[in-house]
Structure 1
Amino acid sequence: MPRFALKIEYDGRPFAGWQAQADQPSVQQAVETALGRLDPAYAAGARIAAAGRTDAGVHASGQVAHADLARAWDPFRLAEALNFHLKPAPVAVLAAAPVPADFHARFSAVERRYLFRLVARRAPLTHARGQVWQVLNPLDTAAMRQAAAHLVGRHDFTTFRSSLCQAQSPVKSLDEITIEDLPVPHGREYRFSLRARSFLHNQVRSIVGTLERVGAGSWPPERVALALAARDRAACGPVCPPQGLYLTGVGYPADPFSA
């Protein structure tokens, strides 16, 4: 059976997350339902696998999943057909590509990239409502960058790990954190970009929520290093809400979409 990789974009607001659930809408279910219009196996309940199981309310601009189909589709026509059947759900297949039978969207990945968008302004948001986290007062970008530097590298991230996390080890290598400070009408937008091979459950939201406390002046930057060393969930800052988080890309040894 030909295997295809799918690059998927979605607005996470209407969904209970990526993973299919019996009683709540999910992104996985939306894509599998669309596949079921094209392939009898998915109409009968076959499953797809994804690079990241994003939580409720989390968005994606570069999620990757793979699906085994009964026939060899032209990749362009496959993406077009899936997008037709995905309507009106806020989910789009950006690209489809044939991949080797041993390609796995999750286990073949060597890098995942996340973006968190935070807007600071007094007036309520209109256009970006539900797509960013809003705070009222501007943040100290230099202090947040100083604090973030303590987290780059290989560490035990127990402090920044959800108590529900199922990963075998809290030790992860965080390859990069960058923080952009951009003007928006009557405010500022802060964009936190994080890159690693893999992340713990709620790790990104825990890190950004902690860095916001530094930017707001409630924590000195050095306290982040102490929190990391504590290896204690109680030492973490508040976990920020999901609506500002985006899975922006997944890296593989060979990019399946490069053609």
Structure 2
Amino acid sequence: MTRYKAVIEYDGTPYVGFQVQKNGPSVQESLQHGLYKMSKGQKINVHGSGRTDSGVHAHGQVVHFDYPVAMKTDNLLRAWNAVTADSIRIRSVSEVEETFHARYHAQGKHYRYWVDLAKFPSPFQTNYVLHHPYPCDYERMNQALQAVVGEHNFKSFCSTKTDKTNFVRRIDKAQVTLDEHTGLLVFDFIGNGFLYNMVRILVGTSLQIGDGLRPTDEMIRLIAAQDRNEAGPTAPGHGLYLEEVYYPNRKTRDKQYAQWLAYRQQQEKS
């Protein structure tokens, strides 16, 4: 077995999310089906850096998988793209060490959310940009978002459906800008990890602040409240994109893997 890392992009519109689910087609399922064809009927599991919800898109999702035959990465890239759905494109494939893990070695992610403030929605953006036809003040939102930068408990910005018990995450960048070319608002969030629906709830709350429905210091209150009911709505998934996943170098990854392995062995003994 040879382990490969791949960077993929996809239109999330036809999928129930990245992860395989019983209620509809998923990105993971499509990727695995392509590898199944290539390997002439061998089941190959694809592991992603994380889940994306129904309708959410990606420009830089990262996955890894073990392929039964060593192939040149260019050949693997061409073959995989040829048998995978048109809504998915594999951007790059590289061979990695057998200890590499797309999810557990990820040390940060960049998410982007697009919002259209035009009075009437464009038919070409229906599945890719949130239509919000209100005179939203993005300077107010930027002022509010500065409060979420740093390490905080983000329980107020996490879906109650989560199975997580640790809500502390670090946000390194949180800002919204106006794209002068398209006239769209662009939210950017970079951090070491994100909770279930976290970015979408931050966007939904920020838009209420931009609309004047909440004060600019509202994020400070919500972080302290640690109550999902206090925050704003969850913005729809179709405006959200996973832009990039960040990884440490191989030396650091090997050290992380050794620590994880020692922890698992200790857990098994106990």
TM range (shorter): over 0.9
Alignment RMSD (CA, Å): 1.4
Give the conservation status (yes or no) of the 8 Å contact 1:121–1:138: no
Give the conservation status (yes or no) of the 8 Å contact 1:34–1:85: yes
1:148 partner SS: helix
Q: Shift of residue 107 of structure 1?
A: 0.3
| 1:110-149 map, 5 Å | 110-149=107-146
| 1:55-88, Cα deviation, whole Å (9 max, x unpaired) | 000000000000100111111111111110014x
Cα distance in 2, alignment partners of residues 211 and 235 from structure 1: 13
Aligned to 2:77: 79
Q: Could you tell me the percent identity over the aligned residues?
A: 32
Unpaired runs of 5+ residues, structure 1, are none
1:53 partner SS: coil
Give the conservation status (yes or no) of the 8 Å contact 2:17–2:54: yes
Give the conservation status (yes or no) of the 8 Å contact 1:151–1:174: yes
One-letter code of the match for 1:109?
A: A
Unpaired runs of 5+ residues, structure 2, are 251-270
Q: Shift of residue 46 of structure 1?
A: 3.3
Match of 1:93 among 72, 90, 105: 90
One-letter code of the match for 2:147?
A: H
Cα distance in 1, alignment partners of residues 165 and 101 from structure 2: 20
Q: Shift of residue 254 of structure 1?
A: 2.9
One-letter code of the match for 1:74?
A: K
Match of 2:243 among 235, 240, 248: 248
Aligned to 2:254: none
Is 2:53 the partner of 1:58?
no
| 1:114-150, Cα deviation, whole Å (9 max, x unpaired) | 0001110012212222101011123111100010001
Q: Shift of residue 44 of structure 1?
A: 4.3
Give the conservation status (yes or no) of the 8 Å contact 1:3–1:67: yes
One-letter code of the match for 2:233?
A: P
Cα distance in 2, alignment partners of residues 247 and 197 from structure 1: 13
1:81 partner SS: helix
Aligned to 2:10: 10
Cα distance in 1, alignment partners of residues 249 and 37 from structure 2: 30
Is 2:256 the partner of 1:223?
no
Give the conservation status (yes or no) of the 8 Å contact 2:45–2:66: no
Q: Shift of residue 184 of structure 1?
A: 5.6
One-letter code of the match for 1:120?
A: L
Q: Shift of residue 189 of structure 1?
A: 0.8
1:181 partner SS: strand
Q: Shift of residue 168 of structure 1?
A: 3.2
1:192 partner SS: strand
One-letter code of the match for 1:105?
A: A
Cα distance in 1, alignment partners of residues 43 and 2 from structure 2: 18
Aligned to 1:157: 154
Q: Shift of residue 91 of structure 1?
A: 0.4
Is 2:181 the partner of 1:176?
no
Match of 2:187 among 188, 192, 216: 192
Q: Shift of residue 178 of structure 1?
A: 2.1
Alignment TM-score, normalising by the size of structure 1: 0.93
